Amino acid sequence: MKIALIQMNSISDKSANLLEARRLVGEVVAAERPDWICLPEVFDFMGGTRAEKLTAAEVFPQGEAYGLMRDLAREHGVYIHAGSMLERIPGEDRLGNTTVAFDRSGAEVARYRKIHMFDVTTPDGQDYRESATMKPGEDVVTYDCEGITIGCAICYDLRFPAIFQALVARGAQIIALPSAFTMQTGKDHWEVLCRARAIETQTYFAASAQTGQFQQAGETRATYGHSMIVDPWGLVIARASDGPGFTSAHVDLARIARLRAQIPVARQKVALT
């Protein structure tokens, strides 16, 4: 199976972001003919104010972003792992930071809400309080992609190994991590964490990222980019260039099986108390 990652510089202009997503999906399909495509975290709307986020959010399966991803999957005959989108949850005053995956016919095959909220202060002193606007999810999610099991995670989940062990326990062979890692944390931690998670889980790790600057409630902030595909030995086998674009690689299931047989960590785990 051939997989592809799309890298975007989304901003607080939903229409512009969706046009860019459509363009990049079309380009990667024409150039690479992938079977599966992953977009970055909140590709539909990045930054802005709380009120603007609420306006941009959708109640699935209605909405422009959801409809675009469904239609592109059907139009191009590919699986689309739709990064994450702003989901309005009925009865809640906070939004979901939500992945939706579509099969080649455009049918929804999975929905995952980000579990770990990015509530941190970065080294440059900027505060991020994702939980103020986003409601954390609770469910570990995998789905079948024509015989390959895909595990779902989003951005800050990357720092919590337990979720990835749970995904492997459910059979994950590829783990998708749409992201919007900050420049400050990304330059030191992004690659090493992606490679570590791939090594620990012995999966292909597909990490699509936001890149460049955006405006958050009047502040200029920056994301790190460097979308990458890491193989189950921890080697980076594909990486996006600076700026919006895409990258791709082939997944070799035999390589996963061979490495898991050689270093059988899943069988050797010891329960610790």
**Beta strand residue intervals within 82-172, DSSP E:** 85-88, 95-102, 108-113, 119-121, 127-129, 142-145, 148-152
Which member of 114, 135, 145, 152 is catalytic? Answer: 114
Which member of 38, 145, 152, 155 is catalytic? Answer: 155
Output the DSSP codes for 194-258. Answer: HHHHHHHHTSEEEE-BBEEEEEETTEEEEEE---EEE-TTS-EEEE--SSSEEEEEE--HHHHHH
> Is 75 noted as a catalytic residue in this protein?
no
Alpha carbon distance 50, 18 (integer Å):
20
> Is 114 noted as a catalytic residue in this protein?
yes
Which member of 14, 20, 41, 58 is catalytic? Answer: 41
> Is 41 noted as a catalytic residue in this protein?
yes
Q: By the 8 A CB rule, do 120 and 128 touch?
A: yes
Q: By the 8 A CB rule, do 146 and 35 touch?
A: yes
Task: Find all residues with CB under 8 Å of 172, minimum gap 6, and list them.
Answer: 142, 149, 150, 151, 164, 201, 203
Alpha carbon distance 85, 96 (integer Å):
8
Listed residue (219, 192, 223, 10) closest to 118, CA to CA: 223
Active-site amino acid positions = 41, 114, 155
